[in-house]
Amino acid sequence: MCGVADTVEGRFDMITLVLSLVMLKMEQDEELAPQTALVTELFVEDMEGQLREAGIGDPTVGKKIGNLMSSMGGRLGTYRQRLADEDRAALAEALKRNVTMAQEDEAEALAERMIRLHKRLRRSSAEQLRAGEIAA
């Protein structure tokens, strides 16, 4: 999709991109904000299971999870700022740095789709998100 590499890394990048957008929505909604920690815990639990399934052993799982969460935090901060500024060019540059791209010239298209999803999430109610729905 939009030039993202169809690799484990590219898929992780897209999961964190969408999760970042959901977390930004949750932060801005007083009803959802208290549940951001739970969503983060569920993400960590899932990633830990995925790493173990991929054959990563116990001694390194914690370190890898720490690295993944650090990466997620950095991306969340960058995406928060770029979306607030509504600077498509800066968002595209951030995506080039943070997303494993098969085609870097597609970063602008990915930025546009990210902005559209961000706007849809902002229009979504807490009830919709809990039901797994996103506003049109």
Q: Is the pLDDT of residue 128 over 90?
A: yes
Residues 91-120, mean pLDDT to the nearest whole number = 94
Does the pTM surpass 0.85? The reply is: yes
Tell me what pLDDT residue 129 has.
Answer: 95
What pLDDT is recorded for position 60? 84
d(CA 116, CA 35): 24
C-alpha 126/C-alpha 36 separation (Å) is 12
Tokens of 39: 């969503």
For 30-69, how does the pLDDT look when each residue is reduced to its tens digit (9 = 90+)?
999 999 999 999 999 998 888 888 888 778 888 888 888 8
Token pair, residue 75, equals 């991306």
Among the listed residues 8, 13, 17, 16, the one whose alpha carbon sits nearest the alpha carbon of residue 114:
17
